[in-house]
């Protein structure tokens, strides 16, 4: 708060005032400003020596905020609390006014209003207990006194309004200064967020450029190679993997490598050959589904045999069978040849 009021706890600050005695109800008004929507303001009443157990929340609709204090003949304490304060909160209470009749002030006014009666200054004034005086001088005195009192009240009211104008100006300046300091305190956090946003934008821009380059490469590769070419390359790769496995078997058959090394490498090469052949057969089947009559057209160009694959001259009877549908390319292990272990 603006005046450095004591903190009741870590999130609550308070203003307190004592009322020794009061005739009738009293009104308390004050202006309240804050930069946070979570900050609340409330008032509490308690007798002298008691805790502030009874508190009422004030609605922050418009300034001034006000509440009433009931009549009391005992000493009464009034507290205005500002709650839910955090490190970024700013709260300001200004123009605090108490409008009520304090017993001590009324007693003093009554004491000064006593006039001398029969030489005794402590006697009760005739204005209260006796008949009104008919003396013209006395009547003129009371008329002039009434007029003077009205002028004095008017002048005092105007003077209070004029005197409060500098206070309002100073309060507005203090509030604006507090808000400006708070805004300046947020500058490091805003600069950090701005730098982070710029860094993320640069990363996104770089990733976008990389994606554009990769897409261009993909489009270039896709346009340079057709599905037929890809299928042929996959068939060649499958046959090469199978040939490597057969060459390894030949080395083992000739006793060039031990059985442990042969089993390990042969299993790996056969697995690669099987995977490549499955992928090649699947792609060939997809191509046949897309063009079901392309193989039966008489005007279609004959398919060229790939290097390393069997032809009709070497294996009669399979010239009309598409590659991958009948020929496996692997040695027949159901009937082992002479000198070969039954495992193979």
Give kind and range of the element (H or E) at residue 210: helix 187-224
CA dist 234 and 239 (Å) reads 9
**Mean residue pLDDT across the chain:** 72
Backbone angles phi, psi at 91, to 5 degrees: -130, 140
| Whether 167 contacts 93, CB under 8 Å | no
Instruction: Give the largest Cα separation in the chain, rounded.
Output: 161
The H or E element that residue 180 is part of is helix 136-185
pLDDT in tens, 18-50: 877 777 788 888 888 787 788 888 888 888 777
For the segment 98-113, the average pLDDT, to the nearest whole number, is: 60
> What tens digit of pLDDT does each residue of 182-210 get?
999 999 999 999 999 999 999 999 999 99
- The whole-angstrom separation of Cα 2 and Cα 15 is 11
**pLDDT tens-place string over residues 270-306:** 999 999 999 999 988 988 887 755 444 444 444 544 4
Domain(s) of CATH 2.60.40: residues in the chain: 7-118
User: Which CATH architecture is the domain 7-118 placed in?
Assistant: Sandwich (2.60)
d(CA 48, CA 74): 8
Q: What is the dihedral of CA 117, 123, 126, 129, to 10 degrees?
A: -150
Residue-wise pLDDT for 206-242, tens only, equals 999 999 999 998 888 777 677 788 888 889 999 999 9
Q: DSSP assignment, residue 341?
A: -
* Distance between start and end Cα atoms, the chain: 93
Query: By three-state DSSP, how is residue 212 classified?
Result: helix
Name the one residue in this structure whose structure tokens are 């309060």. 171
Beta bridge pairs of residue 32: 93
Least confident segment among 20-24, 125-129, 242-246: 125-129
- E strand map for the chain: 7-9, 12-19, 22-34, 40-47, 54-57, 65-69, 76-83, 91-102
């Amino acid at each position: 708060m603006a005046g450095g009021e004591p903190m009741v706890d870590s999130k609550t600050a308070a203003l307190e005032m004592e009322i020794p005695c009061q005739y009738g109800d009293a009104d308390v008004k004050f202006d309240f400003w804050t930069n946070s929507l979570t900050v609340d303001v409330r008032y509490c009443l308690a007798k002298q020596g008691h805790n502030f157990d009874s508190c009422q929340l004030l609605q922050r609709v418009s300034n001034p905020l006000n509440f009433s204090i009931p009549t009391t003949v005992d000493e009464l304490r009034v507290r205005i609390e500002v709650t839910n304060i955090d490190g970024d909160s700013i709260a300001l209470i200004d123009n605090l006014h108490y409008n009520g009749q304090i017993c001590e002030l009324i007693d003093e006014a009554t004491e000064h209003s006593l006039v001398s009666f029969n030489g005794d200054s402590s006697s009760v004034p005739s204005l209260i207990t006796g008949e009104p005086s008919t003396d013209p001088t006395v009547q003129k005195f009371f008329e002039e006194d009434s007029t003077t009192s009205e002028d004095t009240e008017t002048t005092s009211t105007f003077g209070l309004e004029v005197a409060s104008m500098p206070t309002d100006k100073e309060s507005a300046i203090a509030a604006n200064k507090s808000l400006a300091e708070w805004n300046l305190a947020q500058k490091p956090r805003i600069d950090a967020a701005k730098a982070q946003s710029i860094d993320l934008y640069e990363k996104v821009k770089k990733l976008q450029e990389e994606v554009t380059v990769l897409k261009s490469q993909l489009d270039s590769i896709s346009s340079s190679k057709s599905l037929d070419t890809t299928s042929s390359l996959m068939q060649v790769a499958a046959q090469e993997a199978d040939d490597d496995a057969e060459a390894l078997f030949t080395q083992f058959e000739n006793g060039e490598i031990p059985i442990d090394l042969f089993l390990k490498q042969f299993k790996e090469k056969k697995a690669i050959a099987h995977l490549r052949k499955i992928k090649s057969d699947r792609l060939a089947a997809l191509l046949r589904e897309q063009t079901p009559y392309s193989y039966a057209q008489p005007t279609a160009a004959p398919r060229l045999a790939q290097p390393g694959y069997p032809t009709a001259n070497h294996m009669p009877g399979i010239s009309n069978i598409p590659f991958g549908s009948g020929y496996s390319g692997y040695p027949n292990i159901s009937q082992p040849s002479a000198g070969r272990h039954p495992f193979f």
